[in-house]
Amino acid sequence: MAYFRLMRIDILTIFPEMFAAILNESILKRAQDKGLVQMHTHNLRDYVIAETKRKNVDDYAYGGGAGMVLGIEPIARCIESLRSQRVYDEFIYLTPDGEVLNQGMSNHLSTKQNLLLLCGRYKGVDQRVRDHFITKEISIGDYVLSGGELAACVLTDSIVRLIPGVLSDESSALLDSFQGELLDAPVYTRPAEFRGWKVPDVLMSGHEAKIDEWRYQQSLEKTQNRRPDLLKDKND
Ligand code: 6GU
């Protein structure tokens, strides 16, 4: 009997609706249907502390300046409730000043059991959240998004597709661009000819070794042209 580890990802956000379409389609949906991963969104507004009579999840920044800051109270309550129920491997904050995501980080995170993702908004979150609850800060690249929600979706997708059993063709995740340090070769499907534009002969030849060699050469050329940094890193 195959043994599957169940991964759980908890996402803390003030916009839980942003996740429905992405988590419930395609590969992420199938991963959940197969029982390989559970994903739960938590609305931080549900954790606003009633006793303090403060209704908002966000507030003005001490010291002034534009933009609202997500406060520590609802976040602390949500995190403490979740971590009283299970042990988390990482408490991840999605933020443009985090470590830039790469395939190696996704590979590493795909081996974990329980992950918590906190999505920032506005000016960010109170620094004390980062100091006392967060174990890892991740950015998905050098550009600015309106919040961490899209970044959390990107991170989740890149992790979940690596969980054994999620992709039907187990080998395809391993051959992806970046996984093998080279970009992918071009791919073609039927028809063999469209408006006179032909599929390369070698792919129609049935000669497996020649096809492998062609794909490797194409990958190498594409990587040299588009991402020489990927090849340079290896030789440094
Ligand atoms: Cl994680 N958040 C935001 N707001 N912008 C980003 C990002 C994260 N990663 C890249 N840009």
* 141 in the same domain as 89: yes
The last residue of one of the domains, among 134, 160, 186, is 160
φ/ψ of residue 198, rounded to 5: -100, 150
Q: What is the CATH number of the domain that holds 155?
A: 3.40.1280.10
Residue 77 CA to ligand 1 center (angstroms) comes to 24
Whole-model pTM: value is 0.91
Q: Is residue 182 part of a domain?
A: yes
Q: Which atom of ligand 1 is nearest to the CA of 148?
A: 2
* 128 in the same domain as 24: yes
Best of 95, 106, 136 for a ligand 1 pocket test (most atoms within 8 Å of beta carbon): 95
* 65 in the same domain as 106: yes
Pocket-forming residues, ligand 1, beta carbon under 6 Å: 94-96, 139-141, 143-145, 147-148, 151
Residue 138 CA to ligand 1 center (angstroms) comes to 8
Q: Which atom of ligand 1 is nearest to the CA of 147?
A: 4
Question: Tokens 């899209």 identify what position?
Answer: 150
pLDDT tens-digit profile, the chain (236 residues): 556 679 999 999 999 999 999 999 999 999 999 999 999 999 999 999 876 666 789 999 999 999 999 999 999 999 999 999 999 999 999 999 999 999 999 999 999 999 999 999 878 999 999 999 999 999 999 999 999 999 999 999 999 999 999 997 655 565 566 667 899 999 999 999 999 999 999 999 999 999 999 999 999 999 999 999 999 865 55
Q: What amino acid occupies position 93?
A: Y
* 111 in the same domain as 227: no
Q: Is residue 168 part of a domain?
A: no
- DSSP state letters, the chain: ----PPEEEEEEES-THHHHHHHTSHHHHHHHHTTSEEEEEEEGGGG--GGGT---SEEEPTT--SSEEE-HHHHHHHHHHHHTTS--SEEEEEEEEEEEP-HHHHHHHTT-SEEEEEE-BTTEE-HHHHHHT-SEEEESSSS--SBSHHHHHHHHHHHHTTSTTSSSSHHHHHHSTTTTSSPPPP---S-SEETTEEPPHHHHS--HHHHHHHHHHHHHHHHHHH-HHHHHHHH-
> Domain residues for 229?
175-235
* 114 in the same domain as 40: yes
* 219 in the same domain as 106: no
